Amino acid sequence: MIIKLKRLLLIFIYICIIPCTVLADDIQEETELTNAEIQETLEISSNNKDILKDINSRAYIVIDRNSNRILCGKNEFEKRKMASTTKIMTATVVIENSNLSDTVEISKKAANTGGSTLGIKTGDKITIKDLVYGLMLRSGNDCAVALAEYTGGSIEGFAELMNQKACELGLENTHFETPHGLDSENHYTTAYELAILSNYAMNNKTFAQIVGTKNYTININGYPRNINNTNELLGNLNGIYGIKTGFTNGANRCLVTCCKRNNMDIICVVLGADTKNYRTKDSIKLIEYVFKYFEPVNIEEKMKEEFLKWKNKNQNEFSIIKGKTNNIELEMEELEYSTIPILKKQISNIDISVECENKLYAPLIKNAKIGNITLKINEEIIAKANILNKNQIEKKSPYDYLLLFFKNYKTYFNKLCF
């Protein structure tokens, strides 16, 4: 009896001292915000001018999807654990490198993965597409491992593919070790780079469709099963259309959100919130702040208007040294994006300047860059475009100079005679 009690005591002590199980989003140990609480948060956001000071999350960022311009942020370049928001990269790599219609058999390793799971078992048969839905809607770590084994051959092989993609996207402060995001020392990102990755991922129609789905029916071994999205804002806040939740003990609560209203399309990232309610409220506050205080401005239109004024004033001031003609035809290069959100109080501070050489040397190739036009707000460069010459201008040859000499000589002789 004493031996049994000792064994039980040892088991109890062991359970107490081992690290806590890494929780994930489908474990609902916290209640969702009610519609009334969401409305209350919206009202607070609407009336609080200093709303950014009332954010619980350790790091956050909101970017404009059109231009990747940062609209607001805190500790947005600080390396942090990312929890299940990792699966944004996992799904991206799988979609780009796999056949979604393929069916796989679940391995023992995948089935025994801890944390948030879809609940698939060893030997289950399921399509890659349904695994991706299980990955993104239910945050299934078991789905993540199954997809990694299928696409990369192993977790290590898949991590290499993830890091290759990160390198391709210029994510210098992001590194992946796993496809699910359970806490690991060398598994990290920043709020900024997670936003850039998310923007890239959302440009894929398949990815966007999956993360924008509230409910979906998958099939395991031919039997249907309905699953729901863990994203608490999807379907509950105006304009939300994705993308991913996250939670581990090391990362705390994380949420990446896409929101589009009228001509503004943004991505909001919150990392390290203390609770699920905080991450929801923080996301709402940041989203509402941006849509209240920013206004979409057609900067390309403004720059073209200023360019035309400058062109009309300076068109005849150009000279092409050694050129066969002086036929300059100027145009402003198209911007990569035409409209960006700008703080309403800063719109009046927009300053547009033109820099251009008026003495040029032939030959000039078609569409040669001869200057630039820049839009700034309080000395911050918002956009810059080249000024191009549409016409090709050839350099004078010795024959051209000879013709010019005889032409001038003939003119001079005629003046003498008459």
State pLDDT tens for residues 141-200. Answer: 999 999 999 999 999 999 999 999 999 999 999 999 999 999 999 999 999 999 999 999
* Residue found by looking up tokens 């009690």 in the block: 5
Task: Tell whether the model's pLDDT for residue 87 goes beyond 70.
Answer: yes
**56-86 as b/e: b if 16+ CB within 10 A:** bbbbbbbbbbbbbbebbbbbbeeebbbbbbb
Average pLDDT, the chain: 86
Which pLDDT value is given to residue 108? 97
Helix (H, G, I), strand (E, B) or coil at 140: coil
| Upstream peptide bond of 243 is cis (omega within 30 degrees of 0) | yes
Question: Going by DSSP bridges, is the β-strand pair 319-321/359-361 parallel, antiparallel, or unpaired?
Answer: parallel
Angle between helices 87-97 and 128-137 (to 10 degrees): 160
What would you report as the CA-atom Rg of the chain, rounded to the nearest whole angstrom? 30
- CB-based burial of residue 111 (10 Å sphere; 0-12 exposed, 13-18 middle, 19+ buried)? middle
- Positions annotated as catalytic residues are 84, 87, 139
List Cα–Cα distances, 390 to 182, 208, 325, 336, in angstroms: 55, 40, 13, 19
List the structure tokens of 140.
Answer: 């299934």
List the structure tokens of 335.
Answer: 């911007």
Question: Alpha-carbon distance 205 to 96, whole Å?
Answer: 11
CATH code reported for the domain at 298-398:
2.60.410.10
Which pLDDT value is given to residue 254? 97
Question: Alpha-carbon distance 369 to 250, whole Å?
Answer: 51
Indicate if the alpha-carbon torsion angle 73, 77, 82, 85 is positive or negative: positive
Which pLDDT value is given to residue 259? 98
Straight-line distance from the first to the last Cα atom of the chain, in angstroms, rounded to the nearest whole number: 137
* Residue found by looking up tokens 């010795």 in the block: 398
Nearest to 339 by CA among 37, 82, 69: 69
Question: Alpha-carbon distance 362 to 74, whole Å?
Answer: 51
Indicate if the alpha-carbon torsion angle 234, 237, 241, 243 is positive or negative: negative
Which pLDDT value is given to residue 370? 81
Mean pLDDT value across residues 213-227: 97
- Name every residue whose Cβ is closer than 8 Å to that of residue 32 and which is 6 or more positions away in sequence: 232, 276, 280
- Name every residue whose Cβ is closer than 8 Å to that of residue 412 and which is 6 or more positions away in sequence: none
Which pLDDT value is given to residue 53? 82
Question: Alpha-carbon distance 98 to 100, whole Å?
Answer: 6
Of 66-75, 298-307, 353-362, 398-407, the least confident: 398-407
What are the boundaries of each domain within the chain?
A: 57-273, 298-398
Domain 57-273 shares a fold with domain 298-398:
no
What is the per-residue pLDDT across 11-30, written as a single tens digit (0 to 9) for each? Answer: 444 444 434 444 454 444 44
Which pLDDT value is given to residue 258? 98
Which pLDDT value is given to residue 26? 43
Calculate the CA 371 to chain-centre distance.
31
Domain 57-273 bears CATH identifier 2.40.37.20: no
Per-residue pLDDT band at 51 (split at 50, 70, 90): confident
Which pLDDT value is given to residue 217? 98
Mean pLDDT value across residues 221-242: 95
* DSSP calls for 144-158: HHHHHHHHHSSHHHH
What is the per-residue pLDDT across 374-411, written as a single tens digit (0 to 9) for each? Answer: 999 998 999 999 988 877 665 655 555 555 455 555 55
What is the percentage of the chain residues whose pLDDT exceeds 70? 79
Which pLDDT value is given to residue 371? 85
Global pTM value: 0.84
Number of helical H runs and strand E runs in the chain? 12, 17
Residue ranges with strand state E in 7-111 = 59-64, 70-74, 103-105
Which pLDDT value is given to residue 388? 86
Question: Alpha-carbon distance 23 to 192, whole Å?
Answer: 24
Cα angle 398, 402, 408; round to 5: 140
- Name every residue whose Cβ is closer than 8 Å to that of residue 303 and which is 6 or more positions away in sequence: 332, 335, 352, 373, 375, 383, 385
Question: Alpha-carbon distance 89 to 177, whole Å?
Answer: 12
Which pLDDT value is given to residue 390? 75
